[in-house]
Structure 1
Amino acid sequence: DRAGLLRIASVLGTDTADLVPGAARQLALALLADPEAVYGEGVRAAFAELPALRALVLDQLDSLAAGQTAAARDLFARTGLRLTAADARPHLRMCASAAGVVAAAADRVGALHALLAESGVSLYAEPLVLRTAMRLVWEGEPPAAGEAAMVLGATGAQVHREAGTWELLARAAAGAPAGDVAAAELAPEVLSRFLEEIPASLRPSLLMLELARDLRAGTAGPGWVRRALDLGSADPGPGARAQAYAAVSARLLSTEDRPENELRALIESDDVELLAAYRLAAREEEVTARLRLVPAFAADCFTTWSSQPQAGPVWQESRTDLLEGVLRPVVRGLAPAELSSVEDALARLGGRWAEDFRTWQRPTAMSRLRDRFKRRSAPSRPGAGGTSRTGAPDAPDDAGGNRGGEG
């Protein structure tokens, strides 16, 4: 017990100045490794009797806390060691107050700013306090993308570069879940500010998210389907890939300025994940509502999903699903005048599209049998009397299997 020996030497009047720095270093390491066992009566007495020893131990702990933040935080949680107002050790001050500050803050970004204020120094003068504060708040994990964007906006890039916390910001974007749109806004900021620091392993995810942002904003350059596929093959994070593929699909299903070469790239890719995202996007309420309400859009989707029969098997499966699972249910619900409008839109495209559409509507023998079986297997309702739920008589089968007939 060096602290005890130093106390005895001090009482005997022995000069211990050369021994104190080494003892302080060893004691600081021991306190971080096993605080409850080390911070006993002897150490407390040594701190009280030897202010120089206590000051050197705190200096050592403050330096070590920048790298062993969790251990320094636990030291204050598990022992009675406390700092005084005169103890100007910024990392230790944050570790000592972390539990209370984080619990009292409205959110984690607020907790970060409160801890930085507690440090008593400017993070621009001592950037490492930012790293310590972020470790205390997020416990070594990256913040959420929205939190990272707020932190970057409040502090600027240079301090993150000096503190080494830029990687947390990059990981916040690259590792975000697919539905986190804030990640697509953060990624371009990270790319532009930390371009030289970003490792190759994170770059594809950030570029995918940047592409998703650009597609939503309408600023993506040509060849964006091919670019998404190329980046998707470079092992990005699943959330980044899913978000970019969803943005590509939404853009391809837009009625506004959709380049045909991008659609052709989708079909010819025969890519399982991208086509799955496209099929999912086609089932969004916004898309199905446009199919019902905008004849030109329904006509466009029919021609797209009926085309390229020579493409690969994944597209063949996808186009069948889109025609039968998405478009046909919508068409069956159209009134005769609405069906006529779709046919008119197809006729304006030229060729046989309108005739093909009418042919496609006609049910096969199998579909008629399936529909009849569904009606017969439906549970009877008391007093139904051959009427529908609306009270109107059940409509007979027609050539198209829908209310509008063949149009």
Structure 2
Amino acid sequence: MKTTIKQIGQHENESVTLGAWLANKRSSGKIAFLQLRDGTGFIQGVLVKAEVGEEKFKQAKELSQESSLYVTGTVKKDDRAPSGYELAVTDIDIIHEASEYPITPKEHGTEFLMDHRHLWLRSKKQHAIMRIRNEIIRATYEYFNHEGFVKVDPPILTASSAEGTTELFHTKYFDEDAYLSQSGQLYMEAAAMALGKVFSFGPTFRAEKSKTRRHLIEFWMIEPEMAFMDHEESLEVQENYVTSIVQSVLTNCKEELAVLERDTAVLEKIQAPFPRISYDDAITFLQNEGYEITWGEDFGAPHETAIAEAYDKPVFITNYPKDIKAFYMKPHPERDDVVLCADLIAPEGYGEIIGGSQRIDDEALLQQRYDEHSLSADAYQWYMDLRKYGSVPHSGFGLGLERTVAWISGTEHVRETIPFPRLLNRLYP
């Protein structure tokens, strides 16, 4: 019977066949131990020479790392094994004997591993990170579908910037200028006016020459947008969503978290509601902690980390100054110098994982913002139309998938949280 490592617990004491790759091996006299992987997990296969015969035993001992094979054996419960089972091998059938594998079970430099990213993905830790990423994506769809959101796909090629910045990748669209999208948000606002509550999940691009552990050139974002919803209601959606994905990973990725040696006690504390601190109070807190920062400046990584360390849950920093935020954010009703927005800062120094706001719904005020930011009326006319034809209060946010994966999995650098990272000076493989 063919099965997978993930399903092997359903076949205790039965004979099964796995299609697998040899991740590693060792032998001790008349016993060989094969570390096998099949994409769903890892398991140890044990060959006893007396049971499989001289020829099969010799084949197993001579197999090279990452060779592919069919392995047949009896599933045995073993509480010492990460999966809880091992395979008492009765037969092997070699599919392909691999050439000398470049990534051996030893330390390799980051640049070497990144050059071999297409192979590095096979390692146990990278496998665990990708499985956690997949679970976050699965849980995202589950949460928003359950809450009545409609999935909408915004374009990747756009005629203008979502935030009026210059950090865009330019390309030619026949005889016009076009750019790779840095956010689907504006299009999601249009979708929300049609469908009420919507979300997108797709790639975004920032031509930002940053080399920090938190930045990628190409990354994926989840961007919900909600009609008839104010800022405070949006914050509740955000904290419930984050709570949901963390709890899903804790429930469904126990083995992966163990492989990564993630301290799950800190994740178990992640339950809504999350604490909130205003930008004003955050500035005061940082100044009292000895940071040289004045009101009106944006926060850098050290500032976000210092604020996060004061809490054991993600923390919302609310009501940033208008001048350092995007043109579309709605002003605070009691102050014209700050806007109704929030950044959600993850614990343990992982930085901002969500940025969100209530959007301007007044046509005259949005026109004023166009003028202040020197935005092209022609390029943004369709966005203004949303305020002319049935405008309503609406809010939304964007969650960066890779930073969220890094935080939940306990991975230091976001380059390991996406299958093939695009970094400054790295477009290969």
Same fold (TM over 0.5): no
Looking at CA atoms only, which structure, 1 or 2, has the larger radius of gyration?
A: 1
The structure in which a higher percent of residues are helix is: 1
TM-score by length of 1: 0.23
TM-score by length of 2: 0.22
Larger RCO (CA under 8 A, 6+ residues apart): 2
